[in-house]
Structure 1
Amino acid sequence: MLNLKSAEEIEYIRESALIVSKTLGMLAAEVKPGISTLKLDQLAETFIRDHGAIPGFLGLYDFPNTLCVSPNTQVVHGIPNDKPLENGDIISIDCGALKNEFYGDHAYTFAVGEITTETQKLLEVTKASLYEGIKAFKKNNRVGDVGYAIQNYCESFGYGVVRELVGHGLGRVMHEEPEMPNYGKRGRGKKFIDGMVVAIEPMINMGTHRIKHHNDGWTITTKDG
């Protein structure tokens, strides 16, 4: 069931999302060789609380931290640890915040020091695919239009689009309907109407689109490494 938002509720979501965006902006200056993801997690929790919000992921589905941090071949839901980041790594940082009973949710993939040209291209294409998806998210279009836009763009560069992990609706609950796959066919799926709020989350691999679930119950990596 779709949970449509009023203009006031959308502003609350916008406020929470802005805190998340500012948190990631703060972390951008901290992501460098030698820092641990656990330290980044601690910085993020302090920043979010200092801005009058609650970390959106902490305790959600029993997740133990503020950030999901996923370096290199990890795709999503990595748990922060004390291992230092190294030059040439990339790290996806997924962050959420809860304020006024509404969630914000945003992820960004950072380069750690100097990365290869091949890896930089992956980051650029993935970011551009997000904007392709956003352009397709408009009234009377459908979920499949967004998925098609992302898939078509990324696959034109030879990248694999993860199937099992998707974006989602957003509001008083972190994960609401509709699910927002990063693949699809035009004209398929739920129709977009006024009051819908979604998180579009392209997850793109250099190799196959297949993924592997790990024994910690959270970490997901690319299947081919």
Structure 2
Amino acid sequence: MIIMKTPQQIELMAQAGKILTACHRELREIIRPGITTMEIDHFADHFINSHGAKAEQKGYKGYPFATCASVNDEICHGFPTQTPLQEGDIVTIDMVVNLNGWLADSAWSYPVGQISEKADKLLNVTKECLYIGIEKAVIGNRLGDISHAIQAHAESYSFSVVRDFTGHGIGQKMHEDPQVLHYGNPNRGVKLSEGMVFTIEPMINIGAYNLTIDENGWTARTADGSLSAQYEHTIAITKNGPLVLTEQD
């Protein structure tokens, strides 16, 4: 069941989003060769707590960290580690902030120092996929319109769209209905209505979309070892168009 949100509830989620995006802006400044993803995780956890909120992922179904930190071929749910990031890596930091019981969710992929032309193209196209999807998030469209737009753009660059993970409704719980696929056909699925709030979070691979899961039971990585990137926003459907609750700029 899709839980519709009032304008007041959307504003509460936007306040959580402001803390989340402020943290991402800080991460832009500290992610560099030599830093570890565990250091990034500790920074994010402290930042969120210091702003009167909490990291919702920490303890979720036993997940032990405040962030997911996915490096290079890791698609999502990467565990923070003590391994220093190296020049040329890419890393995706995914966070969910809980402020007074209302949530916001956003992931962002970062270059570590100077990255390859191919990796840079992947980051740019993946971010474009996110915003192309958001453009379709208007009253009267269907979820499939978002899905199709993302897939068409990614595949026009010969990249692939991960099938096994989706966007999702969000509010006072991290995962609500509906599921938001990042591939599929237009004019299919749930019709978008004012008050819906969900994430759009395309995960795009340079190679094939097939994946494997690490022994930790969480971390997904590309089966062929190719690079993967992800960008995610929490958005609300309003009469004035999509409202991004986690916009960084």
Asked if Structure 1 and Structure 2 have the same fold, meaning a TM-score greater than 0.5 normalized by the shorter chain, the answer is: yes
Residue aligning to 2:45 = 45
Matches within 5 A, 1:81-120: 81-120=81-120
Alpha-carbon distance in 2 for matches of 1:165, 1:60: 17
Task: Give the letter aligned to residue 218 of structure 1.
Answer: W
2:199: which partner in 1? Answer: 199
1:56 Cα shift? 1.4
Distance 1:199 1:61 in 2: 20
Q: What residue ranges of structure 1 are gaps of 5+ in the alignment?
A: none
Q: Report the counterpart of residue 55 of structure 1 in structure 2.
A: 55
Paired residues, number? 225
Code of the residue aligned with 1:77 in structure 2: it is H
**Residue 133 of structure 2 corresponds to residue 124 of structure 1:** no
What's the CA shift for 1:173? Answer: 0.4
Counterpart of 1:213? Answer: 213
Find the counterpart in structure 2 of residue 163 from structure 1: 163
The letter for the 2-side match of 1:212 is T
Q: 1:13, 1:139 → 2: CA distance?
A: 20
Shift of 1:211: 1.0
Query: How far apart are 1:192 and its partner, in Å?
Result: 0.7
Unaligned runs of 5+ in 2: 226-249
Deviation at 1:100, TM superposition (A): 1.8
Deviating runs (4+, > 4 A) in structure 1? Answer: none
Q: Secondary structure at the match of 2:115?
A: coil
Cα shift at 1:43: 0.5
Q: Which amino acid aligns with 2:15?
A: E
One-letter amino acid matched to 1:172: Q
* Percent of matched pairs sharing the same residue: 40
1:84-134 per-residue CA deviation (whole Å, 9 max, x = no partner) reads 000000001001100121111000000000000111000000001111000
The whole-number CA distance in structure 2 between the counterparts of 1:28 and 1:184 is 33
Indicate yes or no: 2:180 matched with 1:180: yes
1:147 is matched with 147
- Report the Cα offset of residue 28 of structure 1: 1.1
TM-score, with structure 1 as normaliser = 0.99
- Letter matched to residue 173 of structure 2: V
Inter-partner Cα distance in structure 1 for 2:158 and 2:18: 33
Instruction: Report the residue type matching 1:138 in the other structure.
Output: V
Task: Give the Å deviation of 1:62.
Answer: 1.1
| Distance (whole Å) between structure 2 residues aligned to residue 138 and residue 39 of structure 1 | 39
Equivalents in 2 of 1:13, 1:184: separation in Å?
Answer: 29
